[in-house]
Amino acid sequence: MGIFDFFKKTKETEETEVTKEIEEIKSEICLGVLDLFPMKESNQLLIVGSLEGSLKRGDCLQFCNPDQGMDSLGTLVVKKLSSQQKDRDFLTDEPLAHLVVDMDSSLTKLKKGSVLYSSGVDEESRLSAYTDTIYRAFVAIQKGQLTNEDYLAASLEDSVEIMRLFLWKCRQEQETESEESYQVNARKLERLAEIVRDKLLEADSIYAVFSEKTGEPYLFSTTYDRGEDGYLCTDPMIMLFTPRWYHQFKETIDSRPNSTVQLIENTADKTGIENFLGTAFYLNGALGAIFNTKEVSISCSALVQKPDFSGLPEIQVPLMNPDLVRWMLLMGQMGKPSKEDEKLIYSLYYKFFSAALPKAKFLLPLDSTSDLSKDHSEDNSYTLKKDTSFNIPTREGKNGRYSVPVFTDWKRFRMVFDENWNGMVEKAGGMIEVFDYAINPTEYLEAGVYVSKESFDEMKKLTGTGHEERDEK
């Protein structure tokens, strides 16, 4: 072998290796579906998408819906390729590729946001293609609007991601947009929030962050120092995760201290998630929900309507104290503050709690031996008559005084007292001269508060309220 043959062989080897490397790189194909159109006359489907990699006619691809999982939902074979209204034998990294495939029953699962891919494409790449496609399809092209077909096809994950990306775009443009544009985008966001609500209430399940200390959904709120204007606490909200998002970031989410994540499953009649939200909002006092990231939040009234008891007699209205419970839970999930910033935040929560307490109503336990006169057989309500005797549970409290357990609602009441106990509705302060209050003394001690007479008197000064009559329920 001559020297020239040696160089020739070396060159051929290098070219072969380079070609092989390129082929390996380009063999990984990923295409996010921007739109699709049935071709009824030919029983084929036209798919429009953003292509990464090199795709040629005859290639076989798998597809998945990342919003629901990474499992392959089927395969398809590319029958025709085109771009810029020209047929192509192959395309490489084409932002707007058109491909025609034969219609198949599995392809009914295809939608905007679906991802076509070749073997070897990892989950991270598919998720990236999904996010990019959702942005291009619903934000860049459709300007934050969904067609009726889009609405029907969208999952909860899709709707949250569309809202998140549209919000991001709005924030990027907020300094330069006109008032008219602002109002248009605000209406679009309202509609997107409605879609998220619909998909949430129909979902099979959702994940929620709970406090280990209170046993209730964790309330997220941020405190800002406004200088001379004092401090501001943002609306306390619960945190919800879609199944895909939770499983993707499970390790990070689960590592959060003093919290745990619980699966909230819907019921067959689709009231399970709605009831969970109603309790979190109108019993616990959360003012909305955050979805996946703090970028997407929706107010409680936009998700679940506040219960309307206007047609019921006052004595039949279920007892709720959301304005009080909200601050109790925030204090409880914090625990005893140790750092200066924690002490400051805790003091703010306590201030709001103090302002709400004198206006509250409580359930006071009465045992079954109490002398009660039942006036309303249908609603299990009673009226205390003059000189009525009744028994209430008390225990030794603080500073030589006794305390009485009181509850903000029937949920907490039944966590401690069974059906052998009745509950009398007492306006805050009705017994404070005789007994201190142990509010919500459940197994979650941090979720309750002990209030002495001295503390209650200080709280009354904040609102100027007193106490009047007591009702029984």
pLDDT in the model for residue 367: 82
Which residue type is seen at 324? L
* Distance between CA atoms of residues 313 and 259, nearest Å: 40
Where residue 165 falls (left for φ over 0; alpha for ψ -120 to 50; beta otherwise) is: alpha
Question: Tens of pLDDT along the chain (473 residues)?
Answer: 454 454 455 555 555 554 444 444 456 899 999 999 999 888 999 999 999 999 999 999 999 999 999 999 999 999 999 999 899 999 999 999 999 999 988 899 999 999 999 999 999 999 999 999 999 999 999 999 999 999 999 999 999 999 999 999 999 998 898 999 999 999 999 999 999 999 999 999 999 999 999 999 999 999 988 888 888 899 999 999 999 999 999 999 999 999 999 999 999 999 999 999 999 999 999 999 999 999 999 999 999 999 888 887 777 788 999 999 999 999 999 989 989 999 999 999 999 999 999 999 999 999 866 555 555 444 444 555 555 566 889 999 999 999 999 999 999 999 999 988 999 999 999 999 999 999 999 999 999 999 999 999 999 887 665 444 334 33
DSSP summary character for residue 292 = S
* Distance between CA atoms of residues 64 and 53, nearest Å: 17
pLDDT in the model for residue 471: 40
The first and second tokens of residue 128, run together, are 């990236």
**CA angle centred on 247, ends 246 and 249, rounded to 5°:** 65
Phi, psi of 181 (to 5 degrees): -65, -40
Q: Are 35 and 124 in contact (CB under 8 A)?
A: no
CA atoms within 13 A on the CB side of 294: 8
Q: Which of 123, 132, 116 is nearest to 73 (CA)?
A: 116
CB neighbours of residue 405 within 10 Å? 24
For residue 263, how far is the Cα from the chain centroid? 12
- Residue 56, strand partner residues: 90
Q: Are 365 and 393 in contact (CB under 8 A)?
A: yes
Q: Are 448 and 404 in contact (CB under 8 A)?
A: no
pTM of the model: 0.86
Q: Are 242 and 204 in contact (CB under 8 A)?
A: no
pLDDT in the model for residue 175: 87
